[in-house]
Amino acid sequence: MHKCTPMAARSNLQQAVPMTFGFKIARLLSTFQRHHERLSQLRPRLLVLQFGGAAGTLATIPANKAMQCQAALAEFLQLSSPDIAWHTERDRFAELSGCFALLTSTCAKFALDVKLLMQTEVGEVSEPFYEHRGSSSTMPQKRNPISCAYISAIAVAVRQHATAMYEAMVADHERSTGPWEVEWIVLPELCSLTGAALKHTQDLVSGIQVHPETMTRNLDLTKGAIVSEAVMMGLGPSMGRQTAHDVVYELCRKSVANNLPLVDLLCTDERVRSAGLSEESLAQLCNPKNYLGLSVEMVERMVRDGKITASDT
C-alpha cells in the first residue's frame, strides 16, 4: 500500500535522504522473518525432556529399562529424548530468553520510530485511534503514543529478565544451589511480557495511520537540502566529487541562512552552471521523489520472494 509513499529517512534524528514508508515497514517485517527463523531453529533444541534422577544418571531404574522409560516419557510429553542429562546446563532456556529479548527489542525499535514520527512537529503517523485512549486528563488535544510506551517498557523488562536467565546458567555441579530457582521467577514473566509486546505491536502495525501529505510536506522543509547528496553526485562527474561536495555544502548553508530553495541557488551559481547541468536537470535532482534509491524495488523483492504480502507494504 505504501511501497511508493515518499518520506524522509533520518540519521542522528536529522533528515537524511528520501525513502518510502513501505521500505521502512518492509525492513521491520524482514527482521521479524529472521526472528521466526531463529525460533524455528531453537524449537528442537528447546523441547527436550529432562528426566534422569538425582544426578541425571538414571541410576534408580534398571539399566535394561532406563532408556526405554525415558523415551516413553518423552513421547508421551511430545518432547525429544535428551542425548544426556542437562539439569545444570541451562543454555536452552537462556537461548529462548535471548530470542525473546531480540524479538521485543525489535518491537521497541519500531515503537520508538512511531513515537518520534507521532511528535506534533513531525506528525507523519499516528497510533490506531480508540476513543479517549492516549488523551490527557488536563490537555484534551493530546493523542499520546500509549501502545508505543507499553512496548518500550516491556522490552526493557524482557532484556533485564534475559540477563537473569544468563545468570541462571552458572549452576554448580549436577544440582544447583540457587541459580535454577531464578528461572521459576523470571521465565513465566518473560513469556507473558513477550506475548504482551507482540500483541501491542500487532495492533500497532495493523492499525497504524499514515499521513502521506505530512510526509511530503516534511520532505520540503529543507527546501531541497534533503537531496543535496543527489545534487553532489550529479555534479561530481564534471567537477569532481570533493569539489561538488564543497559547492553543495556552501549552497545548502546559504539556503538555510536566506530561506531560499536550493534549486534557485544552484541555477544561479556559476560553478554549477559551468558543470553543464540544465535548470531542468537540477530541478529533477532537487525533487525528493526522484531520489528514493531502490526503496520500491527492495520492497517488491521481498514480496516476490514471498517473505511478505503486498498488502503489508
- What's the confidence (pLDDT) of residue 311? 54
Question: Looking at 43, 45, 175, 301, which residue is catalytic?
Answer: 175
In this predicted structure, the answer to whether residue 266 has a pLDDT above a threshold of 70 is yes
Q: Is 217 a catalytic residue?
A: no
Strands 14-20 and 125-126: unpaired
* Better-scored residue on pLDDT, 252 or 129: 252
Taking alpha carbons only, the member of 127, 115, 203 closest to residue 153 is 115
Q: What is the pTM of this model?
A: 0.90
Average pLDDT over residues 268-280: 93
Which of 133, 136, 217, 278 is catalytic? The answer is 136
Mean pLDDT of all residues in 46-62 = 96
What band does 178 get if pLDDT is binned at 50, 70 and 90? confident
Band of residue 62 on the pLDDT scale cut at 50, 70, 90: very high
The cell numbers describing 163, all together, are: 540477563
Q: Is 40 a catalytic residue?
A: no
CA distances from 221 to 142, 215, 266, 288 (A): 24, 10, 18, 11
Q: Is the distance from CB of 117 to CB of 124 less than 8 angstroms?
A: yes
**Helices 21-46 and 295-304 meet at what angle, rounded to 10?**
40
Amino acid type, 47: L
3-state secondary structure the chain: CCCCCEEEEEECCEEEEEEEHHHHHHHHHHHHHHHHHHHHHHHHHHCECCCCCCCCCCCCCCHHHHHHHHHHHHHHCCCECCCCCCCCCCHHHHHHHHHHHHHHHHHHHHHHHHHHHCCCCCCCEECCCCCCCCCCCCCCCCCCCHHHHHHHHHHHHHHHHHHHHHHHCCCCCCCCCCHHHHHHHHHHHHHHHHHHHHHHHHHHHHHCEECHHHHHHHHCCCCCHHHHHHHHHHHHHHHCHHHHHHHHHHHHHHHHHHCCCHHHHHHHCHHHHCCCCCHHHHHHHCCHHHCCCCHHHHHHHHHHCCCCCHHHC
Distance, in Å, from the CA atom of 297 to the CA atom of 280, rounded to the nearest integer, reads 26
* 274, 278, 279, 283 alpha-carbon torsion, rounded to 10°: -110
pLDDT in tens, 201-252: 999 999 999 999 999 999 999 999 999 999 999 999 999 999 999 999 999 9
pLDDT at position 302, please?
87
For the segment 163-179, the average pLDDT, to the nearest whole number, is 94
Amino acid 131: pLDDT: 76
